[in-house]
Structure 1
Amino acid sequence: MHIHTLDKAAIISELQFGTGISNAVHEGRRADFALILSMFSDDVRDNTPLEKIDEVDNSEQALRKRFELQQPQQLRSDQSSYEVSAQQASLFHSAGLVSTKLSHYLVPDALSYMPEDTHDLPEEVYHNLSGHQRRAMGEKEPKELMPIDLYNQLIKAQRTFQIQAQA
């Protein structure tokens, strides 16, 4: 008997043996019974019937869509926040605090108004930087490093210029 054929048999339960295990028990053949039991899979997941459970999407966006909720309150201001805050200020002056609260609940205003185009620095700090530092903060791509053999390149360029000047 080949060992590999027994490994590939994938014997999981006694139903696959038919009456062989029952006969071994009734006739008292302990060796056959032990052999059959040793060939069963010891993985519980093989013997347990499983149902496929559908994953439920409980992400924030899916729940907001399901319960028809609006987007959450912005933490930082952008250009549209100024229009919303102007509208709420107008409602406060014309109709009072209650209408302002209602407007805020329907279209929430930004939580804080930070200065724009200062790379998340306070305005005092940003305006205190030199022009070179501001330019460096605005660059998206990193600067290229100087070549390692810069000194050799400069010497070679100087010698070439001297040769061309004498000729």
Structure 2
Amino acid sequence: MYADNVDTIHTLDKATIINELRFGNGINHAVHAGRRSDFALILSMFSDDVRDNTPVEQIDPPEVTDAVLRQRFELQEPQPLRSDPTSYPISARHADMFHAAGLPSAKLSHYLTPEPLTYLPSETFDLPEEVYHNLSGHQRRQLAETKPRNLMSADIYNQLVVAQRNYQIQTQA
């Protein structure tokens, strides 16, 4: 008896009863015949998830990136965070504007072509100069290497012993 009820429940779960379209005229007959229990049973089997009952159209969200918004609102490029080789002439132009026409002119020039927020030293691998100059030559060389070095082989000691024996054989011969 219990197994029959379990099978019936699993059969109802697999039926995916979402709305009245799956029942045909059953819900209509239950209403007209006044069978409240059948009507309540049918309604209880409907899905309560609104996404199952409402036709929903897939909406692709528009691509909203910083570049798209800047182009749409005709905005300048953002103020760079750090200096690069092109930022030094910009800074010199701002200084000239300040000396020629005062602070309002320098501000206007800055708003039109903003200076970077910070001027970091170049060719120090993003390290402060005092730290970079305290590194040993080996450490600076390691920073400059672009491809990873080959690791030493696991049998280095065997190679050293063989090389020493070959040297001894060559010196005795």
Is the deviation greater in 34-43 or in 77-86?
34-43
Displacement of 1:82: 0.4
How many Å apart are 1:165 and its aligned residue? Answer: 7.2
The answer to whether structure 1 residue 67 and structure 2 residue 86 are counterparts is no
Inter-partner Cα distance in structure 2 for 1:125 and 1:19 = 83
- Counterpart of 1:124 in structure 2 is 130
Instruction: Provide, for residues 52-100 of structure 1, a one-character-per-residue CA deviation record: whole Å limited to 9, x for no partner.
Output: 4441433322221111101111111111100101111111222222211
Residue 83 (str. 1) matches residue 74 (str. 2)? no
Output the CA distance in 1 between the equivalents of 2:167 and 2:36.
100
Identity %: 66
In 1: Cα distance, 2:97 partner to 2:43 partner: 81
Structure 1: tracts of 5 or more residues without a match: none
Equivalent residue for 2:50?
44
The answer to which of 26-35 and 55-64 deviates more is: 26-35
**TM-superposed deviation, 1:107:** 0.4
Partner of 1:148: 154
Whole-angstrom CA distance in 1 between matches of 2:64 and 2:136: 48
Per-residue CA shift, 1:111-131, capped at 9, x if unaligned? 111110011222223223222
Q: Matched residues in 1 for 2:39 and 2:172: separation?
A: 104
* Residues 163/103 of structure 1: CA separation in 2 closer, same or farther (3 Å cut): same
Could you tell which deviates more after superposition, 140-149 or 104-113?
A: 140-149
Aligned residues: 166
With the length of structure 2 as denominator, give the TM-score of the two structures.
Answer: 0.76
Q: Which runs of 5+ in 2 are unaligned?
A: 1-7
Q: TM-score, normalised by structure 1?
A: 0.78
Give distance in 2, aligned partners of 1:81 and 1:9: 68
Question: What is aligned with 1:108?
Answer: 114
